[in-house]
Structure 1
Amino acid sequence: MGGSSKVMDGSNIKALVNDPHTFAQYVDDKFHTLDKTHNGKLSREELVPVALAIGNALGLPPKGSSPESDHIYDEVLGEFLQGKGESITKDEFTLILRDMLLGVADGLERDPVVLCTLSGSELETYANSNNFEVDAVGVFTQMEKGSDGKIPSSAIKKALEKVAVGQGMPPASDEKIAKDLLEPALQSAGVHNHGNLGQEEFLAAYRQSLLSVASLMKEKPVTVAHTEKCFDGLSITTFLKDESVLRQTLNETWISLGPFKAADGTLEKSNLRVGLDLLAPFAGLPPVGAVDEMDRVVDESFKLVDAEKGGFVNKDEFSKWSDVNPDDCLKL
């Protein structure tokens, strides 16, 4: 890949936690920084930066951007407080932070994350290759066209989301990437002035857009995190076929969803995503927000079971919802 890369497999986190002196110093520094009132305890408000940092490490969108991710941030805060009131001591903070870091390390050990610094050179090579032309024709074919068989030039921005990190492109669906990189690149390429595009015009504008993105990255490289694991549904199928493990996991997940349930013990459908995130490690899936492609698959799977229409589910309905055929989702 054009630029440097670093694999995060959890080994550095485990080395930190397993070194008593270094970990104690790390906790001291963190606790001192967070304890704004200097009373020897951390309140819910003082713990918020920790939850935000963990959410960022998991690839969650910023707090306040979606109800689903906000629930997960609240869960992290709940894990720290664990019914201990509205604050925790340094000893309590140490134990909980240790368990959380080891949990993150175990997750990275199973599904390593690669940090890549994209310098634009690989994207430039791809844009000038025969592979690009083949891919671009495929993208054009899939796009909705007008009666004249053309697409609006504004669709180029959406087309950029089809280019993968492996081809040197940072995730175009990321808001910050779109604002700081894609919009200036499209403006520089003059794409918005092209009007409606036929296939040949689309290929030319699409290539020019990629070359413009590559040029900007040469001036200011972009570092992105992504997983190289292939999610093909096999791990989900294996999980669903083990009846005893499946039922036990679903039961434990239902219990863990207690704080999100209504007074009658049912769960609002809007909280089903929280349940999915709790089930994800057992089914070999990444956390919600970690992999854009998987998030889109999850969105489609929710449409299959009408999970976005509101209402409530009981325990049996929750289990039935969780049994949706993964192959149907992954073929979408």
Structure 2
Amino acid sequence: MSNAGLTIFDGALLRSIDLNLPELEHGVTGAQLLEISESKVSESLSGLSLPPHIKEAAISRVSAGDDVSFRRAEFNREQASEKLGVFVSAVADALTDTPVVVSILDGSTLKLILEDEDDFAMLAENLFTDLDEEDKGKLPKSQIRKALSLMGAEMGVPPLSDFPILDNIIKKHDADGDEELGQAQFAELLQPILQEIADVLHEKPITIVQNVEIFNGSKLRKILADEKTLKCLVEKMVKDNQGRADLIKNLMIENGKELGLPPLSSENESVALLYETIQSQLNKRDKETSDASTEEEFMDALKDILGRFAELLESTPVYSATTL
């Protein structure tokens, strides 16, 4: 799936890759086979170089953990095709568990923002408000760096580690000092910096590879089908003297990862909206989840709420990406 320069590789494309190696007239060494395997996978993934951890996992599986011996071994065409299949399956499985997001930053996203005065004004205002934690109405110039970090790859700004020229751009616009700026001055300084970043990326685009965790309700449904695991999570919190009225809320927040729930973050509007929707449903169930309710009634209420959350995630999956 792709959108505006962003592509998510989840392993599906690799399931139908051609595993035949008709170009092999003779045998091939394990080392050569690994090069062929990586090349075929990369070609199927639009030229993407495999992230190191995925490549290492695939090599470990195809070599049965003995990389050195495998590279020295000789394989005929049939054996090579079989080993290629193992390598491809390992990569596909890794991408299924943890898909990879590839973003091509070419300045187009930034240019769209800059071309619309209202969009840029809203962006600058939101960044200023988020950074002005003490509500002073002033920010030091140096906060421009943090503003760019907050925008991130999703808004077309690459991280400094992938875009070292960013440091030069910031210094060029004298945005490293302690001089304090009001909101309007902050926007005036941010605009030319974003324009220069966009121009540089237009000349030389950058590809950003990220791991992405997809929350689509599948893990939550597995937990709901495993009542023993669900009860263990509840009992752990009950031992911590959690009141039943608040237990469901606390369970989702403190054990969200185990349940397959997206982390509650104010920076992700879709996640905040999901939790608000569930919170409103929880408010309606307060009487049913009171301390006086039986264990069976409580578990029924819990499964009903989590089941609703699973439905919401299934219809509106949440993606959480981390730069590799």
TM-score (norm 1): 0.50
- Counterpart in the other structure of 1:155: 143
Determine which structure has more spread, i.e. the larger CA radius of gyration.
Answer: 2
Change (3 A) 1:321 1:214: closer
Q: Aligned to 2:201, which of 207, 217, 220?
A: 217
Is 2:33–2:84's contact at 8 Å kept on the other side of the alignment?
no
Query: Following superposition of structure 1 onto structure 2, how do residues 278-289 of structure 1 map, counting pairs within 5 Å?
Result: none
Tell me by how many angstroms 1:204 deviates: 1.9
- Establish whether residue 330 from structure 1 lines up as the match of residue 314 from structure 2: no
- Could you tell me how far apart the structure 2 residues matched to 1:321 and 1:110 are? 18
- Counterpart in the other structure of 2:106: 119
RMSD: 4.9
Change (3 A) 1:217 1:13: same
Q: Aligned to 2:64, which of 82, 93, 107?
A: 82
Q: Aligned to 1:187, which of 171, 183, 196?
A: 171
- Could you tell me how far apart the structure 2 residues matched to 1:9 and 1:325 are? 18
- Establish whether residue 176 from structure 1 lines up as the match of residue 162 from structure 2: yes
- Could you tell me how far apart the structure 2 residues matched to 1:217 and 1:11 are? 30
State the percentage of identical aligned residues.
Answer: 20
Tell me by how many angstroms 1:211 deviates: 0.9
Is 1:2–1:122's contact at 8 Å kept on the other side of the alignment?
no
Q: Aligned to 2:123, which of 123, 135, 139?
A: 135
Is 1:6–1:115's contact at 8 Å kept on the other side of the alignment?
yes
Is 2:30–2:74's contact at 8 Å kept on the other side of the alignment?
no
Tell me by how many angstroms 1:14 deviates: 5.0
- Could you tell me how far apart the structure 2 residues matched to 1:6 and 1:85 are? 31
- Establish whether residue 104 from structure 1 lines up as the match of residue 91 from structure 2: yes
Deviation per residue, 1:73-97 (Å, 9 max, x gap): 7655543442558522244776444
Tell me by how many angstroms 1:153 deviates: 2.0
Tell me by how many angstroms 1:241 deviates: 2.0
Residue aligned with 1:240, SS? helix
- Counterpart in the other structure of 1:285: none
- Could you tell me how far apart the structure 1 residues matched to 2:56 and 2:8 are? 29
- Could you tell me how far apart the structure 1 residues matched to 2:16 and 2:55 are? 26
Q: Which runs of 5+ in 2 are unaligned?
A: 36-44, 231-252, 267-324
Is 2:170–2:193's contact at 8 Å kept on the other side of the alignment?
yes
Paired positions, count: 228
Change (3 A) 1:34 1:95: closer
Residue type of the partner of 2:166?
Answer: L
Change (3 A) 1:193 1:128: farther
- Counterpart in the other structure of 1:206: 190
- Establish whether residue 18 from structure 1 lines up as the match of residue 22 from structure 2: no
- Could you tell me how far apart the structure 2 residues matched to 1:2 and 1:193 are? 37
Deviation per residue, 1:42-74 (Å, 9 max, x gap): xxxxxxxxxxxx9x85646xxxxxxxx6xx776
- Could you tell me how far apart the structure 2 residues matched to 1:73 and 1:115 are? 16
Query: Following superposition of structure 1 onto structure 2, how do residues 32-43 of structure 1 map, counting pairs within 5 Å?
Result: 32=32
- Counterpart in the other structure of 1:243: 226
Residue aligned with 1:223, SS? strand
Residue aligned with 1:209, SS? helix
Is 1:188–1:212's contact at 8 Å kept on the other side of the alignment?
no
- Could you tell me how far apart the structure 2 residues matched to 1:94 and 1:163 are? 45
Residue type of the partner of 1:20?
Answer: L
- Counterpart in the other structure of 1:31: 31
Q: Which runs of 5+ in 1 are unaligned?
A: 36-53, 61-68, 248-303, 306-319
- Could you tell me how far apart the structure 2 residues matched to 1:197 and 1:121 are? 28
- Could you tell me how far apart the structure 2 residues matched to 1:32 and 1:109 are? 26
Change (3 A) 1:231 1:146: same
- Could you tell me how far apart the structure 1 residues matched to 2:131 and 2:6 are? 33
Is 1:232–1:330's contact at 8 Å kept on the other side of the alignment?
no
Tell me by how many angstroms 1:30 deviates: 7.6
- Could you tell me how far apart the structure 2 residues matched to 1:182 and 1:150 are? 24
- Could you tell me how far apart the structure 2 residues matched to 1:11 and 1:158 are? 37
Residue aligned with 1:176, SS? coil
Deviation per residue, 1:4-57 (Å, 9 max, x gap): 7777575764565433325x58x949834979xxxxxxxxxxxxxxxxxx9x85
Residue aligned with 2:207, SS? strand
Tell me by how many angstroms 1:117 deviates: 4.0
- Could you tell me how far apart the structure 2 residues matched to 1:191 and 1:137 are? 18
- Could you tell me how far apart the structure 2 residues matched to 1:222 and 1:134 are? 26
- Could you tell me how far apart the structure 2 residues matched to 1:108 and 1:224 are? 16
- Could you tell me how far apart the structure 2 residues matched to 1:197 and 1:15 are? 56
Greater relative contact order: 1 or 2 (C-alpha under 8 angstroms, separation 6 or more)? 1
